[in-house]
Amino acid sequence: MRFLHTADWHIGRRLHGFDLSAEQEDAFQQIEQIALDEQVDGMIIAGDLYDRSLPAETSVAQLDRMLQRLNLTDHLPLYAVAGNHDSATRLATGNPWYQSTNFYLATKLEEAFTPVELPDTQIFLLPYFEPFAAQQYFNDETLVHLDQAMVPVVEQMKTQFNPQKKQILVAHFFVAGSAKTDSETQLTVGGLASVPAALLQDFDYVALGHLHGKDALHEPHMRYSGSPIKFSLSEAQQSKGVWIIDTDPFQLTFKPLKPLRDVQQITAHFDDLIDPTFYAQFDRENYFGFILQDRKPILNALPRLREIYPNVVSLSREEGYSTAVESQGMSGKQIRQKDPVALLGDFYESVAKEALTAQQMSWAKETLKIANDGGTKS
């Protein structure tokens, strides 16, 4: 069978205050088109459908439209789980009705142990859960951490395995991968809150959500799909898309998504950024995080950049300003006795790594004179 694997839609998410609903809609339409073009047998959505447990009405309306479109208009079977950003309770509204159209949604741990039975595949839908839920379900207080809790979870799933079928696990948590050397496979456990990949080896495919980059894990039969769009500057370098999984023979294909507005991190001098020949290379509607290589003060840098790039999401300095001014061995008394204009020149050079120009020096002298004369300009 062939499935599309996506996750971490985070409907309602904002990027440094910018509304991403148009980006979400655009990515969704691409995902829908890929599903139709690839004639998949269903779509896996591995958690974090919403960005918040209490989504805004507009987010509710947007996700509702998307799911109705896929399942009711396109007649695509859906296999979804709640992520840690979702409210399991709120997401579950309507759930018992969804199965009539092959929309399978798991929001509670206990739902993970009854797989969706397809002719040659079993799909286990494991929502995000806290170890406490496993303690209650298994009546075992020793299941304090996620890696401990996942041992009986997988064991119980295996009791349902039909050897005539393939098994797919849909889950939403952090999986710590294995690092393979030439001679052996060494297991690297990432911590108490992560699940060792080895624990999940008996599934034919593990469709993961939680991490936003598709390259977060490179186990042969496990993948994070990553989010459909970039949600932060730290994701600027990631390639976003969805996986197409064929179960028999097993094959994984990554289908990239083209961003409506990309998220880019640019390191440059201010004068370059405002130079038309420089910015001609960019789609200026993108979301930009700028890192200025300048050290000198730049008046109104952000408003000036926003005139050219309307969607600046962050502005910082590569080197910062010098915060500690070097006193170059002079005592406080010596500094206080210096000529004020010379002192300003030293300070400017110390911060901006440039001397004052003759024009700047002349402005400084004039302003100082006005100040000394009582504050009125002649």
Nearer to a copy of itself, 99 or 357 (CB): 99
Nearer to a copy of itself, 78 or 222 (CB): 78
Q: Residue 292's closest CA among 313, 269, 265?
A: 269
- Residue holding tokens 């290589």? 293
Question: Which residue type is seen at 116?
Answer: V
Under the binding rule (CB under 8 A), the answer on residue 60 touching a copy of itself is yes
Nearer to a copy of itself, 84 or 360 (CB): 84
Nearer to a copy of itself, 87 or 160 (CB): 87
Binding span for a copy of itself by CB under 8 A among 13-21, 57-65, 111-119, 323-331: 57-65
Among 64, 130, 349, 366, binds a copy of itself (CB under 8 A): 64
Binding span for a copy of itself by CB under 8 A among 11-19, 60-68, 280-288, 332-340: 60-68
The footprint of a copy of itself on this chain (CB under 8 A) covers a number of residues equal to 20
Nearer to a copy of itself, 82 or 153 (CB): 82
Under the binding rule (CB under 8 A), the answer on residue 130 touching a copy of itself is no
Cα 36 to Cα 29: distance, rounded to the nearest angstrom? 11
Nearer to a copy of itself, 96 or 119 (CB): 96
8 A C-beta contact, residue 247 and residue 203: no
Cα 115 to Cα 159: distance, rounded to the nearest angstrom? 11
Under the binding rule (CB under 8 A), the answer on residue 57 touching a copy of itself is yes
Rounded to a whole number of angstroms, the minimum distance from the CB of residue 101 to a copy of itself is 7
CA 137 to chain centre: 32
C-alpha dist (Å) from residue 305 to 185, 247, 263, 288, 311: 51, 49, 16, 10, 9
Rounded to a whole number of angstroms, the minimum distance from the CB of residue 88 to a copy of itself is 9
Separation of first and last alpha carbons in the chain: 85
Q: x/- contact string, 65-94, with a copy of itself (CB under 8 A)?
A: ---x---x--------------x-xx-xxx
Binding span for a copy of itself by CB under 8 A among 52-60, 133-141, 209-217, 369-377: 52-60
Cα 366 to Cα 218: distance, rounded to the nearest angstrom? 65
For 306-317, what is the HEC assignment?
HHHCCCEEEEEE
Q: x/- contact string, 90-119, with a copy of itself (CB under 8 A)?
A: x-xxxxxxx-xx-x----------------
Phi (first) and psi of residue 5, to 5 degrees: -115, 115
Question: Which structure tokens are listed for 39?
Answer: 């004639």
Cα 121 to Cα 162: distance, rounded to the nearest angstrom? 9
Under the binding rule (CB under 8 A), the answer on residue 136 touching a copy of itself is no
Nearer to a copy of itself, 96 or 276 (CB): 96
Rounded to a whole number of angstroms, the minimum distance from the CB of residue 54 to a copy of itself is 7
Cα 167 to Cα 30: distance, rounded to the nearest angstrom? 27
Q: What's the number of CA atoms in the CB half-sphere (13 Å) around residue 296?
A: 13
For the chain, give percent helix, strand, coil, nearest 5.
35, 25, 40
List the interface residues with a copy of itself, window 15-44 (CB under 8 A): none
Q: Which residues are near a copy of itself by CB under 8 A? A: 54, 57, 60-61, 64, 68, 72, 87, 89-90, 92-98, 100-101, 103
